Amino acid sequence: MSQRFGGRYSPNSAQSTPTAPTRPHPVGARVNLLFVLPFVFAITGFFKSPLGLTLNLVAFAVLMLAAWLTREGVLAHAAYAARSVARKPAIPRKIFGSVLMGLGLGLAAFSAGPGAALLLGALGGVLHFGAFGSDPLRDKGMEGVDLFETDRAAKAVEEAETYLAEMAEAIKRSGDRTLSRRIDSFSATIRPLFRAIENDPRRLNSARRYLGLYLLGARDATVKFAELHARSPDPQARAEYEALLDDLEQRFTLRREALLESDRTDLEIEIEVLRERLDREGLRPTE
């Protein structure tokens, strides 16, 4: 499917769909390579003795588990780093991945002797830890934060992210790449509200319907539109759907700005109260 070229200085550029800024995915080539290397031991095991074959197949299973834990640990670490307020992962997946990497390589080299197995296993574990590092081992920004409110906010944001993922998947099934980019832009526009709630869970009560009711309705509308669009594209339905996304983007942006304005108002009140107290106690210098 060909795409019409468009840019800032192209005709009708004002009507072009904005694109969301792209970020590198946390799971890169290093993590993907971990899923490839175990197959070397699985294949070469069939050219060894029954004991060697058994050790290689067990090593294959252990190394695949190490790769999976590492991938999940990298994703969890990226989510932790993206938030100002976050709990440490419940399971240190990358650390467990390093241990299993050493164990798997040790099993694969055991037929060459215990010394070789110990050396290769220790080297593999150390290199894995050096490549991927440790998991976050402490909470971030949790000082003085109500854990109950934090859990409620985290669940609400997780539910909202699920709705966004379902919207993207529905549009992807329609085969319209322009609308897929429009959904990516929509998600990037409203996610700052998610981050604002994560940074201050007390804001959840004033934004709950945005993360729940509004996004649930957007998800349902997206699924219905995608089904209709896949069967018989309707320009009017498409225009109405994009207008819905525009309206939601505006509402989410206004809600976030209102929260920030409330923060500024609270700060100004605290500063004014502090100034009055300093004046009463004679500690504020006269101008």
The tokens describing 135, both together, are 């998991």
**Predicted structure pTM score:** 0.60
Name which of 69-73, 201-205, 209-213, 268-272 the model is least confident about.
268-272
Per-residue pLDDT band for 265 (boundaries 50, 70, 90) equals low
Assign 3-class secondary structure to the chain. Answer: CCCCCCCCCCCCHHHCCCCCCCCCCCCCHHHHHHCCCHHHHHHHHHHCCHHHHHHHHHHHHHHHHHHHHHHHHHHHHHHHHCCCCECCCCCCHHHHHHHHHHHHHHHHCHHHCHHHHHHHHHHHHHHHHHHHCCCCCCCECCCCCCHHHHHHHHHHHHHHHHHHHHHHHHHHHHCCHHHHHHHHHHHHHHHHHHHHHHHCHHHHHHHHHHHHHHHHHHHHHHHHHHHHHHHCCCHHHHHHHHHHHHHHHHHHHHHHHHHHHHHHHHHHHHHHHHHHHHHHCCCCCCC
The CB density around residue 226, as the number of other CB atoms within 10 Å, is 21
Query: Per-residue pLDDT tens for 136-189?
Result: 988 776 665 667 777 888 888 889 999 999 999 999 888 888 999 999 999 998
pLDDT of 91 above 80: yes
Domain segments of the chain as ranges: 20-132, 147-280
Cα 151 from chain centroid (whole Å): 17
Say what the pLDDT of residue 163 is: 92
- The predicted-structure confidence for 39-82, as pLDDT tens digits, reads as follows 999 999 898 888 889 999 999 999 999 999 999 999 989 888 87
What pLDDT is stored for residue 94 in this prediction?
95
Q: What is the mean pLDDT of the chain?
A: 81
Query: What is residue 2's predicted lDDT score, i.e. its pLDDT?
Result: 43
Residue 31, pLDDT > 70, answer yes
pLDDT, tens digit (0-9, with 9 covering 90-100), for 216-254:
999 999 999 998 888 888 889 899 999 999 999 888 888
What band does 3 get if pLDDT is binned at 50, 70 and 90?
A: very low
